[in-house]
A = this chain, B = another copy of it.
Amino acid sequence: MEKIKITKSETSKSKPTTDQLEFGRVFTDHMFIMDYSTEKGWHDPRIIPYQPLTLDPASIIFHYGQTVFEGLKAYLTPDEKVKLFRPEKNMKRLNRSNDRLCIPAIDETLALEAITTLVGLDKDWVPSAEGTSLYIRPFVIATEPYLGVAPSQNYQFIIILSPVGAYYKEGINPVKIAVENKFVRAVSGGTGEAKTAGNYASSLKAQELVADKGYAQVLWLDGVEKKYVEEVGSMNVFFKIDGEVITPALNGSILEGVTRSSVIDLLKHWNYPVSERRISMEEVFEAAKNGKLEEAFGSGTAAVISPIGELSWHGKNIEVNGGRTGKVAKQLYTTLTGIQTGKQADPFNWTINIE
């Protein structure tokens, strides 16, 4: 494994105060970068001062979107240690995404060392207030200047860091979600289970249209029958119906969320009945009508757990749990953030400490 070269920044940028923290607007002093060429493979891993990228305008990333990314967070513990939450799962998913996008695999051990080294160097940027963290964004871009539609011969793997506050302005308060009946995020055989730019580009329009009506996110249905629940915005989604917690099964078009997997593990640990299966909006609607829809919430790295207070579907409004955060959502949020920040025991060994 090639050693990571470090060039330190000569100055340090000013850090945002807690009340200035937004999501993904401010970046730390350093970044990681590594190059790929067909001749050399992945090479020259290095940490350099945060700086612009210089790319030929014909680079494949600008035209054919050959790119993947990951998202994870570093958390400050009460005794000022820095923790990562299940980062090895992100590195595995990064390579699954790479495979779907014809991008050469990255050594997961090196990628994780890149993250820990970079976060260690910018440790002072990890914010300490409740609900804040240092967001870590690894991504790969295709850099060959070529306009033919073909996998690139050159790539860059880059990691940037951003101190962040809550993803939704609502925080752990319930959000309103509109079920999307026209636009489709992804379909089986497409790129829905990869973390790649096109899935997000595709979602902007639907999101913009519902935002005008006061909804925080859309709930995506399957692209074939537009009946079955897929995801919420950029999160996985869970429903608690008559005591059972249900989340859509991984079907090829749904992203395999690290938080989703952790939620399932925690619920099983707590002996809740959990199902990964197909669930239709009709079923959710019927459950609500019969008073059996007890909770609904999204899960994701950015928002952790985001309770859903209201769903709009074909002109019908489905109120969930009287518009309040449910018990399971609250318990999951408290436990997950507790484990992530070292305020609770970590029975699953999900976190690692950064030296």
Contacts of A306 in B (CB 8 A): none
Question: How many Å from the CB of A242 to the closest CB on chain B?
Answer: 31
Most buried by B among A100, A160, A201, A226: A201
Contact (Cβ within 8 A) A147 B151:
no
Q: Mark A49-84, 1 if CB is under 8 A from B, else 0.
A: 011111111100111111101000000000000000
- How far is B57's CA from A69's CA once the two chains are assembled, in angstroms? 12
Q: With CB as the reference atom, state the residue of chain B lying closest to A54.
A: B52
Contact (Cβ within 8 A) A223 B69:
no
Contact (Cβ within 8 A) B197 A197:
yes
Most buried by B among A31, A150, A187: A187
Indicate if A327 sits at the interface (CB-CB under 8 A): no
* Secondary structure class of chain A's binding surface, majority of residues: loop
Q: Which of A120-128, A138-146, A336-344 contacts B (4 or more CB under 8 A)?
A: A138-146
Q: Which of A20-28, A265-273, A279-287 contacts B (4 or more CB under 8 A)?
A: A20-28
Query: 8 Å CB contacts to B: which residues of A204-252?
Result: 204-205, 207-208, 223-224, 226, 233-234
Indicate if A288 sits at the interface (CB-CB under 8 A): no
- How far is B55's CA from A187's CA once the two chains are assembled, in angstroms? 32
Contact (Cβ within 8 A) B204 A66:
yes
Indicate if A133 sits at the interface (CB-CB under 8 A): no
Contact (Cβ within 8 A) B223 A58:
no
Query: 8 Å CB contacts to B: which residues of A274-324?
Result: none
Contact (Cβ within 8 A) B24 A204:
no
Q: Which of A36-44, A111-119, A188-196, A347-355 contacts B (4 or more CB under 8 A)?
A: A188-196
Contact (Cβ within 8 A) A198 B202:
yes
Indicate if A46 sits at the interface (CB-CB under 8 A): no
Question: How many Å from the CB of A73 to the closest CB on chain B?
Answer: 12
Q: A191-B202, A208-B151 are in contact. Are A65 and B63 (CB under 8 A)?
A: no
Contact (Cβ within 8 A) B189 A64:
no
Question: How many Å from the CB of A335 to the closest CB on chain B?
Answer: 26
Given contacts A52-B55, A62-B197, A149-B207, 19 further A-B contacts (CB under 8 A): A24-B58, A24-B146, A25-B148, A27-B58, A53-B56, A57-B160, A58-B137, A58-B160, A63-B200, A64-B201, A65-B65, A65-B200, A65-B201, A102-B205, A102-B208, A151-B204, A151-B208, A184-B188, A197-B197
**Can you name 22 A-B residue pairings with CB atoms under 8 Å?**
A23-B147, A50-B57, A53-B62, A57-B160, A61-B62, A62-B67, A62-B139, A63-B197, A64-B200, A65-B201, A66-B201, A67-B201, A101-B204, A102-B205, A149-B200, A150-B207, A184-B190, A190-B223, A191-B201, A197-B201, A198-B198, A198-B202
Q: Which 10 A-B pairs have the closest CB atoms?
A: A198-B198, A24-B147, A65-B197, A184-B189, A65-B201, A64-B200, A187-B187, A187-B223, A102-B204, A65-B65
